[in-house]
Amino acid sequence: MVLTLADLPALNAALNGTSAIFLTTGYVLIRRGRITLHKRCMLAALVTSTLFLTSYVIYHANTGSRPFSGTGSIRYVYFSILISHVLLAMTILPLALVTAARGLRAQ
């Protein structure tokens, strides 16, 4: 099966959802003291998030951006959400990598 650019948004959603499931499961496992399974879930979440980011970048590198066509107050709401999303997305990558490295070193 060959994926096309049109398939990537659905793949991105599936990868993001899978990562959320791994994160939630990992949280439940650590609360129950299941450290090894927690670690596996966290690593699986990191892998699926990495695949998501790769797919997301490939998609947007090939399709470009689409200007927001809304007007009025919804435009301010949209850009407020967009700006905070971009800033948080830029921040989470190094935080996730540092956290994963520290977790693997049992710090």
- 79 and 94 both lie in a single domain: yes
Say whether pLDDT at 42 is over 90.
Answer: yes
Q: pLDDT confidence of 85, banded at 50, 70, 90?
A: very high
Query: In this predicted model, what pLDDT tens digit does every residue of 43-76 receive, in sequence order?
Result: 999 999 999 999 999 999 999 888 899 999 999 9
Number of domains the chain contains: 2
- 18 and 51 both lie in a single domain: yes
CA atoms within 13 A on the CB side of 20: 6
d(CA 86, CA 91): 9
Q: pLDDT confidence of 28, banded at 50, 70, 90?
A: very high
Cβ-contact 44, 22 below 8 angstroms = yes
Q: pLDDT confidence of 1, banded at 50, 70, 90?
A: confident
User: Which pLDDT score is estimated for 107?
Assistant: 74
Phi–psi pair at 4, nearest 5 degrees:
-110, 170
Cβ-contact 68, 75 below 8 angstroms = yes
- 26 and 52 both lie in a single domain: yes
The whole-model pTM stands at 0.84
- 94 and 44 both lie in a single domain: no
In terms of residue numbers, what domain contains 19?
1-66
Say whether pLDDT at 104 is over 80.
Answer: yes
User: Which pLDDT score is estimated for 88?
Assistant: 94
- 8 and 46 both lie in a single domain: yes
